[in-house]
Structure 1
Amino acid sequence: MLFAPDTVESLNFVVALGNTTPGSSRSGEDELATVDQLAGLLSRFSYTGRIDHDKAELLSVRDVRTQLRSLWVLDRDEAVGVVNQMLRDARALPFLTRHDQLDWHLHATSPDVPLVVRMRAEMGLAFTDVIRMNEMGRLRVCEADDCDGLVLDLSRNGSKRFCTVRCGNRMNMIAFRERNS
């Protein structure tokens, strides 16, 4: 494994969050348009602490989604400034914790700060690991022609190209048809 489990969890969350946009979601619609959709997304990940379940929080998370999608495609040196700013804005003070069924992992803020602040801090820590390990190349955008889904490549040889099997199969079928026409 390239990264610590909490880093992988955070990066997988960025992918899930980033892939709620119309150009990357399965439905083609914005899948983060309601407070209930945000709650559904959060329930798939191990977010603990304060969650307000209101429109203001939803709008803040949508802003973070935009920021994280932009960060995903930066080169290593460009990403450093963005990540450092995210950590400063969140007033991150990393500490080890263990709760629920999770073993020791990093948190960077108190559980009572707003969700979006915790997101920025935790994603900042995750990107710190990616940058320090010089693995920004593992963060990609789907290579399918009509998809801008985020791809986290944790494969051994770093060859993952598509956000889902569906995109991969579709592109393979297009290539097959082009070869045989």
Structure 2
Amino acid sequence: MLFTHDTEVSLQSAVELVNSAGEPDTLTEVADLDDFYERYEFTGRHERTRAELDEVRALRARLRRLLTSSRDDAVEQVNAMLAEAGALPQLVRHDRFDWHLHAVDPDSPLAVRISVETAMAMVDVVRADEMSRLSVCDQEDCDGLVLDLSRNRSRRYCSTGCTNRAAVAAYRERQRRAEA
């Protein structure tokens, strides 16, 4: 494991949230947000309203800027996000999770908690000088984000779909060259 469990999960959820803004948008209904909330085992307040969904959807552009920024720019953004939320990191233990960091009250709005958890995860990324673990998909017609947690830093595509399209294109190119 490259980062602590809570850092990796926060990064994964942030990347999925940003990528949900693609075509098609995969975060359009409250039920989609419910699934996201459950999949990443968020805790705390979850209103299950259209207003909450809209707040979380509005966060996607800001998280994209953060996750694709340079290291120094990331520091400025992280500091701003933590200051805006009045973050006060504290060690907590709940449910099946051992000690980990929370930096805002569990009753804070979900969008605030997602923002702060992403900022806290980026603290670890910046401190470890691992910004290269975040990139944009190598598929020509895709701008999805990629979180590469592999040991050999080999992940280049945001999804299985993009990986498969790249493999098919490479195969067809090899076939074309073999025939020529």
TM-score range, shorter chain: over 0.9
Partner of 1:57: 52
Partner of 1:126: 121
In the alignment, structure 1 segments of 5+ residues that lack a partner are: 23-27
Aligned ranges 1:115-154 → 2 under 5 Å: 115-154=110-149
Query: What's the CA shift for 1:50?
Result: 0.9
Partner of 2:18: 18
Partner of 2:32: 37
Percent of aligned positions that are identical: 50
Query: What's the CA shift for 1:78?
Result: 1.0
Q: Residue deviations 1:3-49, cap 9 Å, x none?
A: 11100010010122112112xxxxx3211112121111111011111
Q: Please, what is the CA RMSD of the aligned residues?
A: 1.2
Q: Secondary structure at the match of 1:129?
A: helix
User: Following the alignment from structure 1 to structure 2, what is the Cα–Cα distance between the partners of residues 59 and 143?
Assistant: 29
Indicate yes or no: 2:6 matched with 1:3.
Answer: no
Flag the structure with higher helix content.
2
Partner of 1:166: 161
Q: After the TM superposition, list the runs of 4 or more consecutive aligned residues in structure 1 that deviate by more than 3 angstroms.
A: none
Query: What's the CA shift for 1:165?
Result: 2.8
User: Following the alignment from structure 1 to structure 2, what is the Cα–Cα distance between the partners of residues 69 and 16?
Assistant: 10
User: Following the alignment from structure 1 to structure 2, what is the Cα–Cα distance between the partners of residues 31 and 109?
Assistant: 27
Given candidates 64, 70, 79, the residue that maps to 2:65 is: 70
Q: Residue deviations 1:121-165, cap 9 Å, x none?
A: 111100010011100100011111122221110111212101123
User: Following the alignment from structure 1 to structure 2, what is the Cα–Cα distance between the partners of residues 8 and 70?
Assistant: 18
In the alignment, structure 2 segments of 5+ residues that lack a partner are: none
Q: Residue deviations 1:58-110, cap 9 Å, x none?
A: 11111111111121111101111111100001110000111111111100011
- TM-score normalised according to structure 2 size: 0.93
Q: Aligned partner of 1:13: which letter?
A: S
Q: Secondary structure at the match of 1:97?
A: strand
Partner of 2:78: 83
User: Following the alignment from structure 1 to structure 2, what is the Cα–Cα distance between the partners of residues 54 and 156?
Assistant: 39
- TM-score normalised according to structure 1 size: 0.92
Partner of 2:151: 156
Q: Aligned partner of 1:81: which letter?
A: E
